[in-house]
Amino acid sequence: MPLEANDSVLLDSVRSIRWPARRKSPAGMAGNHLSKVLGVSAEFTEYRAYRPGDDTNRIDWKLLARSDRAYIKLSNDRTVLSTMLLVDASGSLAYPAATLEKWHFARQVTIGLASASYGGADPVGMLVATTEGPRRLPPRTRRGVVQDIAHVLSGITPGGSPELAPLLPMLRSAGRVAIISDFLGDAEATLKMAGQLAAMGREVHAVHIVHGNELNPPRRTTLLTDPENADLKRPMTDVTRRLYLHNFDDWREQMAREWRMAGAYYTQVDSTDTVANAVRRIVTPQGTDGARR
Amino acid sequence: MSFLFPGFLVAAGLVSAAVVVLHFLVTQQPRSEDLPTVRFVPDVPARSTSVAIKPSDLLLLLVRVLTIMAIGAAFAQPQLKPKHQRVSRIVMADVSRATGNIKEVADSAARYTQGVLATVVFDSVARDVNPNQLADTLAAIAGKPRSVRRGSLSSALITTLRAASRVRDGADSIDLVVISPFVGEERDAATASLRALWPGHITPVHVASTADVAGGADAAASKSTARVEWVDSLPAGNNALWSARPKPDTVGAVRAGTAVMVYPFLRRWQPAGKADSTVRVYARWADGTPAAFEQQGAGNSCVRSVAFSLPSAGDAGLRPDFIRFVQDLSAPCGVARDVAPLPSDFMTSFEGPKTLAPVSSIKPREMRMTPLVPWLLGAALLLALIELLVRRISGGNAGAAAAALEAEVAKRKGTGVAA
């Protein structure tokens, strides 16, 4: 399935990006992420006293000869991390209506994340919340899965107000879940369900898509309309613009705080940045201090 | 074309300019756009004033401007300048009782029709008539019974001076032609003074007086004894001049000429309506209402219709004033009339200098404009300003909300409290 020209450029720009797990992953097939289970690979990690039932082949016989104590050698096991990308295709992402710039940015971020995950040999899949119902691609490691994701996203036009929260339980089997959304829909319910996934040991990423005009609205006086709710009209003047910026900043800070408190990794990306930078910021571990980026 | 009050036209132009400016300075809903995060924008009434880049409703604007300019022009009173001529003429035609033949007056007037801008027809009252209708007016007067009104040169001169002010812009100088028999009764104490107000020559055109026409018989006829009709003695409904009063009353005196009779007269009659030109009031009650009419009859006869009865009781009939009063009632028809031609020295001074009256010496007509007009215009301008103010106030809800938002923004900046 051929890729769009922009997607090819995008994949070239994110080709070197990998998406390491933020913590040890559950045991699974051999992969690139540290496993919670210490295995028998060649990479030595530590000794442990022999216990009945252990494989005698793993006893360090030289150490036994020197110390007359039986120890077995342990090593870090590496495993794959199944990644599911939950994409919000609500009407709020169809902005601006003429170019759908916000949606295209979210779509390219999704493709970039899929590529980064696929580059680490992780199975990657996608679940898109649309008004016609969820569109699901199960996690795969086979070749062409990123192209499949790109193709599915190309056929979706955002609109309506689909809910994300009911879809999150479908992602329990995935080791990593990335929610790509502007969180202008059922944000509270989504946060609650995502918190449950994090509590279950899943690595949850909240990728907050923001358009440049949302961060810095035009200074001209306009009557603004919510694309998801045509009845919601508000005037944008110099005065209301200042209060809007206050409100929006406060809301984003609150969102980041709540997501992090729920055990998720929150990253805000805006459409004025390049997709490669946005993907790099999402996948790069930032420590545990929860500093906002 | 000129304007008597061009200031109004200038004001209308200024108002029109303001309307044009206001037309493009429109209050309208701002342009609508989508924004997904619109929920974070405070909800305040939306209205903004913006200059329309693309002109719209130009026809409406044109109509408004034309309306205002029309009103301004109406107040400015445009004047179409008459055709200017070197010498124009005003004709005064005498149709009083002294004029022997009205047709002669009409014929004389016809000789002076060239350049006539105004004509004045007078007896005791002067009327400014349209020059084009002078012949018809004189013909109509000639067709009626002869007027019993005394001619008045003074009132005619006053009307002529007004007419001259009206037509002064149409010529360099004005020739005043007076067609009259110029008899003594037409002159009064004010005539010479009023004549002095005319700043040029007056051309007198003599026509025959009644005395000339009658060959002196008119004076004799004026001596004929009048017939007195006592209304109280006439059969009911046989008198067109009087009607019965709904409620008879008593009047203390009646005057006829110079004689006054004091007596509690019972007043039963009142004038039936407007009398024609052959009827004049002969006696009046103490309150001024007519008590007797003198109506000119066929030839030189006359009938005096008296609406009261002479006292038949008491000593009133013995008093000298009663005798004088009765003599006046039975006096010959007509009052003493001076039908002698005016003396030559008066006529010389009446003609005045040889030069025609220059229009520069004639006062222009004083325009009488109601003082309400400038007030109305001022009120209209004030209302226009008030309309702007009201529009601002009605849109002030948004302003008040904006002020509240400003305060909230400042408060947040000061305290650092998040929403």
pLDDT tens digits, one per residue of B313-323: 778 778 888 88
Annotate A137-166 with DSSP letters as a single string: EEEE-STTHHHHHHHHHHT----S---SGG
- What pLDDT, on a 0 to 100 scale, did the predictor assign at position B334? 62
**Beta carbons of B34 and A225 less than 8 Å apart:** yes
Which comes out higher in pLDDT, residue B61 or A96? A96
pLDDT at A8 over 70: yes
In terms of domains, do A168 and A264 share one?
yes
Chain A residues whose beta carbon lies within 8 Å of the beta carbon of residue B39: 184, 226, 232, 234
In terms of domains, do B109 and B198 share one?
yes
Chain A residues whose beta carbon lies within 8 Å of the beta carbon of residue B404: none
Tell me, yes or no, whether B393 lies in a domain: yes
In terms of domains, do B204 and B343 share one?
yes
How close A209 comes to chain B (CA, Å)? 12
Task: Report yes or no: A92 at the B interface, CB cutoff 8 Å.
Answer: yes
Task: Provide Rg for chain B, Cα atoms.
Answer: 37
| CATH number assigned to the domain comprising residue B113 | 3.40.50.410
Lowest mean pLDDT among A80-84, B262-266, B393-397: B393-397
CA A109, A113, A116, A119 torsion-angle sign:
negative
Task: Report yes or no: B51 at the A interface, CB cutoff 8 Å.
Answer: no
Task: Report yes or no: A186 at the B interface, CB cutoff 8 Å.
Answer: no
Chain A residues whose beta carbon lies within 8 Å of the beta carbon of residue B419: 246-247, 250-251
Closest CA to B41 of A244, A231, A226: A244
Tell me, yes or no, whether B132 lies in a domain: yes
In terms of domains, do A120 and A223 share one?
yes
Tell me, yes or no, whether A270 lies in a domain: yes
CA torsion angle A43 A48 A50 A54 (round to 10): -50
**Beta carbons of B31 and A222 less than 8 Å apart:** yes
Q: Are A31 and A122 in contact (CB under 8 A)?
A: yes
User: Phi and psi at residue A127, in whole multiples of 5°?
Assistant: -135, 120
Tell me, yes or no, whether A288 lies in a domain: no
Confidence band for B239, pLDDT divided at 50, 70 and 90: confident
Nearest residue in B to A226, CA atom = B36
- What pLDDT, on a 0 to 100 scale, did the predictor assign at position B179? 92
How close B414 comes to chain A (CA, Å)? 13
Which amino acid would we find at residue A269? V
Domains identified in chain B, total number: 3
Lowest mean pLDDT among A97-106, B12-21, B222-231: B222-231
In terms of domains, do B149 and B65 share one?
no
In terms of domains, do B125 and B103 share one?
yes
Place of tokens 């105004």: B118
Task: Report yes or no: B33 at the A interface, CB cutoff 8 Å.
Answer: yes
In terms of domains, do A49 and A147 share one?
no
**Two structure tokens written together for B273:** 């309506």
Q: What is the domain range of residue B46?
A: 2-77+369-415
**Beta carbons of A248 and B40 less than 8 Å apart:** yes
pLDDT at B411 over 80: no
Nearest residue in B to A103, CA atom = B36
Nearest residue in A to B37, CA atom = A214
Task: Please give the Cα distance from B269 to B246 (Å, whole number).
Answer: 9
Annotate B344-407 with DSSP letters as a single string: HHHHHHHH--SSPEEGGGSPPPPP---THHHHHHHHHHHHHHHHHHHHHHHTHHHHHHHHHHHH
Domains identified in chain A, total number: 2
Place of tokens 């030559």: B344
Chain A residues whose beta carbon lies within 8 Å of the beta carbon of residue B50: 221
Chain A residues whose beta carbon lies within 8 Å of the beta carbon of residue B34: 95-97, 224-227
pLDDT at B49 over 70: no
Confidence band for B215, pLDDT divided at 50, 70 and 90: low
Average pLDDT for B225-251: 81
Q: What is the domain range of residue A165?
A: 5-20+80-283
Q: Give SS3 for B216.
A: coil
pLDDT at B369 over 90: no
pLDDT at A276 over 90: yes
Tell me, yes or no, whether A25 lies in a domain: no
In terms of domains, do B128 and B206 share one?
yes
What angle, 0 to 180 degrees and rounded to 10, lies between the N-to-C axes of helices B6-24 and B372-394? 10
Which comes out higher in pLDDT, residue B392 or A211? A211
Tell me, yes or no, whether B131 lies in a domain: yes
Tell me, yes or no, whether A293 lies in a domain: no
- What pLDDT, on a 0 to 100 scale, did the predictor assign at position A288? 41
Per DSSP, chain A holds a count of helices (H) and strands (E) of: 8, 10
Distant-in-sequence, close-in-space partners of A233: CB < 8 Å, separation ≥ 6? A223, A224, A225, A226, B32, B38, B46
Which comes out higher in pLDDT, residue B418 or A47? A47
Task: Report yes or no: A50 at the B interface, CB cutoff 8 Å.
Answer: no
pLDDT at B56 over 80: no
Confidence band for A40, pLDDT divided at 50, 70 and 90: low
- What pLDDT, on a 0 to 100 scale, did the predictor assign at position B9? 83
Which comes out higher in pLDDT, residue B79 or B90? B90
pLDDT tens digits, one per residue of A58-78: 888 999 999 999 998 887 777
Task: Report yes or no: A237 at the B interface, CB cutoff 8 Å.
Answer: yes
- Residue B140, class by beta-carbon neighbours within 10 Å (0-12 exposed, 13-18 middle, 19+ buried)? exposed
Q: Are A116 and A19 in contact (CB under 8 A)?
A: yes
Question: Which residue from B41, B402, B405 is facing A236, i.e. has the nearest CB?
Answer: B41
Task: Give the ranges where chain A is alpha helix by DSSP (H).
Answer: 5-13, 61-67, 101-119, 145-154, 187-199, 212-215, 238-261, 275-283
Chain B residues whose beta carbon lies within 8 Å of the beta carbon of residue A227: 34, 36
- What pLDDT, on a 0 to 100 scale, did the predictor assign at position B417? 41
Q: Give SS3 for A185.
A: coil
Task: Please give the Cα distance from B292 to B284 (Å, whole number).
Answer: 7
In terms of domains, do A194 and A110 share one?
yes
Confidence band for B367, pLDDT divided at 50, 70 and 90: low
Distant-in-sequence, close-in-space partners of B226: CB < 8 Å, separation ≥ 6? B294, B301, B302, B303, B304, B330, B331, B332, B333
In terms of domains, do A212 and A124 share one?
yes
Determine the Cα angle at A87 with ends A82 and A89, to 5°.
160
In terms of domains, do B89 and B190 share one?
yes
Average pLDDT for B241-269: 85
For A45, A190, A234, A266, B254, the CA distances from A255, given in Å and listed in that order, are 39, 12, 23, 8, 113
**Beta carbons of A233 and B38 less than 8 Å apart:** yes
Which value does ipTM take for this structure?
0.81
- What pLDDT, on a 0 to 100 scale, did the predictor assign at position A206? 95
Q: Pick from A197-211, B73-87, B162-176 the range whose average pLDDT is largest.
A: A197-211
In terms of domains, do B9 and B68 share one?
yes
Task: Provide Rg for chain A, Cα atoms.
Answer: 23
pLDDT at A137 over 90: yes
The overall average pLDDT reported for chain A is 87
**Beta carbons of A224 and B41 less than 8 Å apart:** yes
- What pLDDT, on a 0 to 100 scale, did the predictor assign at position B220? 43
Chain B residues whose beta carbon lies within 8 Å of the beta carbon of residue A221: 30-31, 48, 50
In terms of domains, do B345 and B294 share one?
no
Question: Which residue from B30, B36, B409 is facing A235, i.e. has the nearest CB?
Answer: B30
pLDDT at A122 over 60: yes
Task: Please give the Cα distance from B336 to A34 (Å, whole number).
Answer: 149
pLDDT at A165 over 70: yes
**Beta carbons of A225 and B32 less than 8 Å apart:** yes
Ramachandran region of residue B18, left (φ > 0), alpha (ψ -120 to 50) or beta?
alpha
In terms of domains, do A210 and A239 share one?
yes
Task: Report yes or no: A269 at the B interface, CB cutoff 8 Å.
Answer: no
CA A271, A274, A279, A284 torsion-angle sign:
negative
Q: Give SS3 for B248.
A: strand
- What pLDDT, on a 0 to 100 scale, did the predictor assign at position B211? 74
Confidence band for B134, pLDDT divided at 50, 70 and 90: confident
In terms of domains, do A16 and A84 share one?
yes
pLDDT tens digits, one per residue of A89-109: 999 999 898 899 999 999 999
CA A219, A223, A228, A229 torsion-angle sign:
positive
Chain B residues whose beta carbon lies within 8 Å of the beta carbon of residue A224: 32-35, 38, 41
Task: Please give the Cα distance from B349 to B328 (Å, whole number).
Answer: 37
Which comes out higher in pLDDT, residue A271 or B387? A271
Test mutation, B27, B41, B411, chain A, max A CBs within 10 A: B41
Chain B residues whose beta carbon lies within 8 Å of the beta carbon of residue A89: none
In terms of domains, do B104 and B184 share one?
yes
**Two structure tokens written together for B400:** 């008040």
Confidence band for A254, pLDDT divided at 50, 70 and 90: very high
Ramachandran region of residue A144, left (φ > 0), alpha (ψ -120 to 50) or beta?
left
How close B408 comes to chain A (CA, Å)? 8
| CATH number assigned to the domain comprising residue A118 | 3.40.50.410
**Beta carbons of B36 and A96 less than 8 Å apart:** no
**Beta carbons of A233 and B412 less than 8 Å apart:** no
How close A108 comes to chain B (CA, Å)? 19
Tell me, yes or no, whether A291 lies in a domain: no
How close A176 comes to chain B (CA, Å)? 28
How close A101 comes to chain B (CA, Å)? 12
Task: Please give the Cα distance from B250 to B263 (Å, whole number).
Answer: 9
A–B interface: beta-carbon pairs under 8 A: 113
Question: Which residue from A182, A227, A250 is facing B34, i.e. has the nearest CB?
Answer: A227
In terms of domains, do B314 and B344 share one?
no
Confidence band for A151, pLDDT divided at 50, 70 and 90: very high
Tell me, yes or no, whether B264 lies in a domain: yes
Test mutation, A224, A253, A270, chain B, max B CBs within 10 A: A224
Closest CA to A203 of A85, A108, A106: A85
Task: Report yes or no: B386 at the A interface, CB cutoff 8 Å.
Answer: no
Task: Please give the Cα distance from B269 to B276 (Å, whole number).
Answer: 19
Which comes out higher in pLDDT, residue B22 or A241? A241
In terms of domains, do A151 and A53 share one?
no
In terms of domains, do B298 and B151 share one?
no
In terms of domains, do A145 and A64 share one?
no
pLDDT at B67 over 90: no
Annotate A118-129 with DSSP letters as a single string: HHTT--EEEEEE
**Beta carbons of B39 and A225 less than 8 Å apart:** no
**Beta carbons of B34 and A234 less than 8 Å apart:** no
In terms of domains, do A134 and A273 share one?
yes
Average pLDDT for A263-282: 92
DSSP state of B259: E
Tell me, yes or no, whether B222 lies in a domain: no
Question: Which residue from B29, B34, B398 is facing A95, i.e. has the nearest CB?
Answer: B34
Distant-in-sequence, close-in-space partners of B20: CB < 8 Å, separation ≥ 6? B61, B65
In terms of domains, do A93 and A49 share one?
no
pLDDT at A251 over 80: yes
DSSP state of B151: P
Test mutation, A88, A209, A233, A239, chain B, max B CBs within 10 A: A239
**Two structure tokens written together for B228:** 């007195």
Nearest residue in B to A90, CA atom = B36
Task: Return the half-sphere exposure (C-beta side, CA atoms, 13 A cut-off) of residue B123.
Answer: 15
The overall average pLDDT reported for chain B is 78
Q: Are B340 and B299 in contact (CB under 8 A)?
A: no
In terms of domains, do A209 and A67 share one?
no
- What pLDDT, on a 0 to 100 scale, did the predictor assign at position B409? 65
Confidence band for B299, pLDDT divided at 50, 70 and 90: low
pLDDT tens digits, one per residue of B375-393: 666 766 777 667 666 656 6
Task: Report yes or no: B395 at the A interface, CB cutoff 8 Å.
Answer: no
- What pLDDT, on a 0 to 100 scale, did the predictor assign at position A291? 42
